[in-house]
Amino acid sequence: MEATGLLREISQPAFMFIAHFVKKVLMLLDGPNRLLQSEDMALLTGLQLIVSAECVSKLRCEAEFTELRDTVTDSDVNPAPSKRQRTANKNLHQYLVEETTGQKNNDKTELLRLYCSALDTLLEEINHRFG
Does the residue 88 lie in any domain? no
In terms of residue numbers, what domain contains 111? 10-79+106-130
**Domain count of the fold of the chain:** 1
Does the residue 19 lie in any domain? yes
Does the residue 87 lie in any domain? no
pLDDT digits (tens, 9 = 90+) for 10-59: 878 888 999 999 999 999 888 778 877 877 777 777 777 777 778 888 88
- Whole-model pTM? 0.69
Report residue 97: phi and psi, to 5°: -105, 115
Amino acid at 76: D
- CA 71 to CA 21: how far, in whole Å? 11
Does the residue 101 lie in any domain? no
Does the residue 99 lie in any domain? no
Does the residue 96 lie in any domain? no
pLDDT digits (tens, 9 = 90+) for 95-127: 766 666 666 667 888 899 999 999 999 989 888
- Taking the CB of residue 37, how many other CB atoms lie within 10 A of it? 9
Amino acid at 62: E
